[in-house]
């Protein structure tokens, strides 16, 4: 829930509605961040598989081989998850490791970044996050409703946004959201509450 009050006195001082809108936009953006964190935390908690990067081979260390780690995580998903084998994938990486995936090198006879190389090879989408749960972890998964679902209530008896006049004071604006995210369990050998279509890559930071 986010809330702000637009005082009548601000309008009397000549404050424009554009400035007031920025306060509303800040609340909307914060709600979006809350949703992102909810989804990311659920995916990390629901990862049915894990691959640990060896000490000294962290992605910001001299012996790094991020490509091998990501391909190894792909192998685990396709070996153990309930998949057909040709699904598109998503990789969520901490923003501080963006340079690892954007740095160019020679693959075969093509100079390209690791990000472009992986996209070309495996239909992979790469997303960057500043979520605190990803400080030392990347997450590889097959996105879709068979992996996890986010839901948000906006049915009868509920208003997401409310604007109320406070006599002699101003307008009260409130944004409310009821939401949740679940990871689906599969009969694929994963533990309770886990899904083998999700694999954590841990120890990626030195």
Separation in Å, CA 184 to CA 50, 138, 143, 181, 188: 17, 20, 12, 10, 11
Query: What pTM was computed for the model?
Result: 0.84
Mean pLDDT by 10 residues, the chain (206 residues): 85 73 87 94 95 94 92 94 88 94 87 91 92 92 93 84 90 90 85 92 92
Joined together, the tokens standing for residue 168 give 């002699």
Sheet holding 47-52, edge to edge: 47-52, 195-202, 137-141, 89-94, 124-129
User: What per-residue confidence (pLDDT) applies to 77?
Assistant: 94
Adjacent-strand bridge partners of 179: 152
| Domains of the chain, start order | 2-37+158-179 (no CATH), 51-147+184-202 (3.30.2320.10)
Closest by CA position to 194, among listed 48, 27, 50, 65: 48
């Amino acid at each position: 829930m986010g809330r702000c009050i637009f005082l009548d006195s601000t309008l009397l001082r000549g404050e424009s509605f554009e400035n007031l809108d920025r306060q509303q936009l800040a609340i909307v953006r914060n709600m979006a961040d809350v949703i992102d964190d909810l989804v990311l935390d659920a995916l990390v908690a629901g990862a049915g598989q894990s691959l640990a990067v060896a000490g000294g081979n962290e992605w910001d260390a001299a012996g790094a081989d991020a490509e091998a780690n990501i391909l190894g995580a792909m192998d685990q998903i396709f070996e153990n998850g309930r998949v057909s084998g040709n699904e598109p994938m998503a990789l969520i990486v901490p923003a501080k490791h963006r340079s690892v995936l954007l740095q160019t090198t020679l693959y075969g006879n093509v100079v390209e970044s690791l990000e472009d190389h992986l996209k070309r090879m495996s239909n992979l989408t790469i997303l960057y996050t500043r979520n605190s749960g990803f400080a030392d972890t990347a997450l590889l998964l097959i996105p879709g409703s068979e992996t996890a679902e986010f839901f948000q209530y906006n049915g009868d008896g509920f208003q997401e946004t409310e604007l109320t006049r406070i006599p002699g004071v101003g307008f009260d604006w409130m944004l409310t959201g009821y939401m949740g995210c679940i990871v689906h369990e599969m009969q694929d050998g994963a533990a309770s509450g886990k899904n083998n279509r999700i694999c954590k890559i841990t120890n990626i930071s030195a």
